[in-house]
Structure formats: C-alpha cells, structure tokens
Structure 1
C-alpha cells in the first residue's frame, strides 16, 4: 500500500467525513462531522497558517484515497515540555491495522524535523485506546509518562488518563 501525506484541501472534506466512525468521533472530534463543518475547519487551518500559527494538518493518502488526517501542533502544552510537538492522527476503519497510521506518523515526524519545528515529537493517547498506543510504539516512540488531563473527561465524568509517548527528532 502506498502511503503519503498532503496538506489538507477543501476537496478532502467529504472523504474525511466518510472515514469517521464511532472510535474516531470518541477520540478526536467528540461529535459526527459534516462536510460543511470539515470544510470550515480546513479553511480555518489555512487562515491560521496565513497568520503564522504553528498547527499544520495533512490528509493521509493510501493508494490514492484520502483515509484520514495527521497533524502537528507545537502550541499544545498539556503534558508536554518546551520544544515538544504534539502529533494527532486518525484513520478510516478499513485501513486500520495495515500500518497506515504508523507510516503517517513517520512522515509527519520527517516534516517536523525538516521544518525545524521542535526537538521532540510527542503523541498523547487516551489510556483506553490501546490501538493508538501501539501506533506510537511501532513508530519508534517510547512511553514517557502518564498524565491526568483535567480538561477532558470520560463518559463517567472522570478525568482522562493519557499515555505520553515521545521520540527525539535528530
């Protein structure tokens, strides 16, 4: 399978909505996305980039089809150290378990390094999301610590525990 990442485009909105499932919604968006809302999110990212904000988002492409997103954000500070760059990702259920997310993380790390955005890439995974933790480990990240995130709560109203994984960027 050929995996690549490309900056998000408005034309990707419908494919991204199609790629969502309950797991994606629970971990990333908290509610079902719409094409219009996703297009607005992409437009906001473009405006943010024009204003020199640091977050960048990319579509994940598998064999010519947009199947998810990966982004980096050096402005995320919850559980991170100075110089850390947060990475978040999500892929369609039909490509999970095929190395797509791992390859996308490797590619986004190369972008972060190439652009000199930070010195360490960090992935924070919900402790209940073992698949996402496996992606981090397979991409060469090591478990740094666990973190209780007060800004996020579980369905039971408890603070979410995040596993924090890191990978130095040469």
Structure 2
C-alpha cells in the first residue's frame, strides 16, 4: 500500500469533516468539526508550516482519496521532554485496519528527521484506545510510561491518563 501526505487546503475541508466519526471525536477532537472551522484550522496549520513553527498537519491520501489526518507538534509539553515531538492522527472509517496510520506515522517521522526537528517522536494515547496503541507498536515506538495529563480531562473532570510511546529520530 502506498499513501502520501499533503498539506490540507480549504478544498479538503468537506471530505475531512465527512471522515469524522464517533471514534475520531472520542480519541482526538472532542467534537465534530464544521467546514468553516476546519478551513480556519487548515489555514492556521499552513501559516505555521510557512513560518516553520508550531503544530503542522497533513492530509493522509490513499489512491487519490483523503483518508485521514496527521500532525506533529514540537511545542506540546504535556508529559513530554523538551526535544520530544508529539504526533496525533485519525483515519477515516473506510480506511481503517489497512496500515494507513502506521505508514503515515512513519512518513511524518521521516519529515521530522529531514527537518532535524526533535530527538524523539512521541505518541500519547489513552490506554483504552487499543487501535492507536497498535499503531505505535507497529510503527516501532516503545512504551515508556503512563502519566496523568496536566491539560486534558475526562468528562468527570479527572485528568486523562495517557500512555507514552517514543521513537528515537
């Protein structure tokens, strides 16, 4: 299987929003996006990419069709060391279970190496998110520890517990 990563544009917002489902909302976004809000988010990511700062994101494309999203954030410090770069991703339901997320994570790690950004890639995942745990393991990341978040909370207000998986870059 071959996938590619491309910066997202306003033209991709509708397909991106259509790919969201309750698992995406549960594990990544916390709510369904609107096309307008998604366009603003994509423009913000493009500005970050142009300035070479902050979070940068990509669409994941398979056979010419948008099938997910992945980003990296060198500024996230919740549970991470200063030179760790956090990764986050979601795959549309129709493309799940085919190794798309694993390949996308590996491609983003290649970008981080080429840009010499950070010393380790980090995946923070709630332990109950077994699909994302498998992605981290299949992409060659090693489990380091569990930790309570200092910024994310459960619906009842308690801190979210994350498992931390790392890969040397």
Q: Which residue of structure 2 lines up, in the alignment, with residue 43 of structure 1?
A: 43
Residue 115 (structure 2) pairs with residue 115 (structure 1): yes
Following superposition, the deviation at residue 156 of structure 1 comes to: 3.4
Following superposition, the deviation at residue 10 of structure 1 comes to: 1.7
Following superposition, the deviation at residue 63 of structure 1 comes to: 1.0
Q: Which residue of structure 2 lines up, in the alignment, with residue 130 of structure 1?
A: 130
Contact 2:78–2:151 under 8 Å retained in 1 = no
Normalized against structure 2, the TM-score is what?
0.95
Q: What SS class does the counterpart of residue 104 from structure 2 fall into? A: helix
Residue 22 (structure 2) pairs with residue 14 (structure 1): no
Relative to 1, partners in 2 of residues 1:150 and 1:83: Cα closer, same or farther, differing over 3 Å?
closer
Q: Which residue of structure 2 lines up, in the alignment, with residue 97 of structure 1?
A: 97
Q: Which residue of structure 1 lines up, in the alignment, with residue 5 of structure 2?
A: 5
CA–CA distance in structure 1, aligned partners of residues 112 and 150 of structure 2: 28
Following superposition, the deviation at residue 93 of structure 1 comes to: 1.1
**CA RMSD across the alignment:** 1.2
Q: What SS class does the counterpart of residue 163 from structure 2 fall into? A: strand
Q: What SS class does the counterpart of residue 89 from structure 1 fall into? A: strand
Report how many aligned residue pairs link the two structures.
169
Q: What SS class does the counterpart of residue 147 from structure 1 fall into? A: strand
Following superposition, the deviation at residue 67 of structure 1 comes to: 1.0
User: Unaligned regions of 5+ residues in structure 1, if any?
Assistant: none
Residue 23 (structure 2) pairs with residue 23 (structure 1): yes
Q: What SS class does the counterpart of residue 67 from structure 1 fall into? A: strand
Normalized against structure 1, the TM-score is what?
0.94
Q: What SS class does the counterpart of residue 46 from structure 2 fall into? A: helix
Q: Which residue of structure 1 lines up, in the alignment, with residue 69 of structure 2?
A: 69
Q: Indicate the larger mover: 44-53 or 90-99.
A: 44-53
